[in-house]
Structure 1
Amino acid sequence: MGLGTHTVLGVPIWPRCKVGGKSFYRKRSGRNSEGSEDDKPDRFLGDGTMATASEIAAVGVIGAGQMGSGIAQLAAAAGCAVLLLDADPTALSRAVASISASLRRLAAKGQLSQAACEDSIKRIRCVSTVQDLRDADLVIEAIVENEDVKKKLFVELDKITKPSTILASNTSSISITRLGSATKRPSQVIGMHFFNPPPIMKLIEIIRGADTSDEVFAAVKSFSERLGKTVICSQDYPGFIVNRILMPMINEAFWALYTGVGTKEDIDTGMKLGTKHPMGPLQLADFIGLDVCLSVLRVLHNGLGDNKYSPCPLLVQYVDAGRLGKKRGVGVYSYGQKSSSVKPKSSL
């Protein structure tokens, strides 16, 4: 272990995991930056306990898929101990291999020292039960985009984590207020919407629930900036900011394909060259995951009550057929696996 490191939950970390040179949860009693007395306590715990922790040292990440593994990599590289949870041992092994390869590529390019690379890898510990996250300071879930499943997880996390733990969701569309209502600590529930792949995409969308405290919001915003992210803040409306705008465009691209307005190649080329998008909407949908796109559109449709968000039947059919995009080898496009027989307007 390197000089000055210590362990948290059995994972080696740097002496401090701070944000912008400042502690996360500071008491505001005492003198402020202007030298005047500020006796307002920094209360963020649901039971009114004073927040005294000076740092977030341990981060739990639930879900070892592409999003979860990317978030785990970011937190480890920022100096935090990471507890990566997934019920599937194969998924965990695959995630650790992917994270290790990604960090070593950065080291090979000179963007990260070899020592920092290896230290980051050592900070990640794989765990198999929610109970293993009981002492985490921050837990970020990156599981299936299903409200009921997420609520059940939050109920369990609320029971087993320490009172000061912040519970965050990587949801791309589901109400943070409703997720928070499943817990006894809604003031400590917040949305942290990373974009795929998390180590590369610079944006993070932070969503406050109706009860999210100012202190938790400030801490998570600072932590996100420590991860190297540009932060945008959204109110708790269906789809938030990015997907409120993006998903209708993707849906319209499916309608254009479904009704024969153009081929998938022409639709994507038109948007890439005509609007300077780096990826066409159908290619982007494959990259996001067609199941995720469908889930977000359903949230938008149900939450806003506007039929313009109603998912295109072709998108629904692709998902029903298991054509989920790049992660499955086939979606709108084929990625080296045998394509299914689903074609625009077929058997509908």
Structure 2
Amino acid sequence: MSQNKGYSRFDNAVDGDDPSPPPPPGFVMPPAYEAAVQYGHADATVPVAVPVGPPYAFESPAYGQGVSGYPQQPYPVAAPYSTDPYSQPFPNVVAMGEPGQSNDPPEYDSDQFTSSGLDNKEIRRVFIRKVFSVLSLQLAITTAFVAIFTFEPHVKLFVMQNSWTYWVGYLVFLVPYFVILCCGEFRRKHPWNLICLSVLTLAMSYMVGVISSFYDTDIVIMAIGITVVVCFTVIIFSMQTKYDFTSCYGVLFVCGIVLFVFGILCIIFYSKIMDLIYSTLGALLFTCFLAVDTQLLLGNKNLSLSPEEYIFASLNLYLDIIQIFLFILRILGRSRS
């Protein structure tokens, strides 16, 4: 057998060799394959050919038509590795930077996060409806107690003769009040939060009824009417105005402490003028608190409540309205006397 020295294995056969068939026209054998065959690392009977011609189609004058009809389409050339994080390695994905595409990252859309979060408008509407539903039920129960203690003479006489029942109701009120105020997990746990709020509402309604029994019927009716007008106006105004009352929450808290100290002084140095001033300041202060607590429901101000805190929100509004009613009742009673 002859040795392939200095010539290709596709040259004419020598000494009875049976070389593999030559490559078709337009193709050549790669040098690496010829070397592998020469040293016995490849099968000479399975030729591997590559096309002859320019590597790109636009450089070939006879692209698609090779010698003797063989195609001269080049093999695809792999793209160099790119460190661009926006490069698309897959051919079926539209690469960034193409005509009609933008290289800028997608803009932040706040709606895609707020649509499922706690600040969603629909969730906030449900929250507001739930709060005012609970509040309406609380006020209805309190109004019923006030009507019974005001228009029923036997109940009024019993309360006047047994004033200790007021302090019992006050103690019953304090227990669920501090539980709701201090235990955040408890006031969000159903149905214990509703049970606790129900006990608080009944205790507060009883105390308001006891206080109302010491005033004339016409004064109580006038106080209820004024309270309804004032609270309805403040709530509507707080929902419509763009002014943020929640930013004044700290100032109102300090004013509440000052009012508490002033009330103690009114007890020690009692006079009708000081008591009237105290009642007027108290009505104004809790009217401002009502405006702040109303805006806490909306969720579009500096401070807002979570939609899970509907019990706490209902309690705040309820106590604000009750305090406004009691201060107005006190003002009318002192004015009459």
TM range (shorter): under 0.3
Higher relative contact order (CA 8 A, sep 6+): 2
TM-score normalised by structure 1 residue count: 0.19
Q: Which has the higher strand share?
A: 1
Larger helix share, 1 or 2 = 2
The structure having more radius of gyration, on CA atoms, is 2
Q: What is the TM-score when the length of structure 2 is the normalising length?
A: 0.19
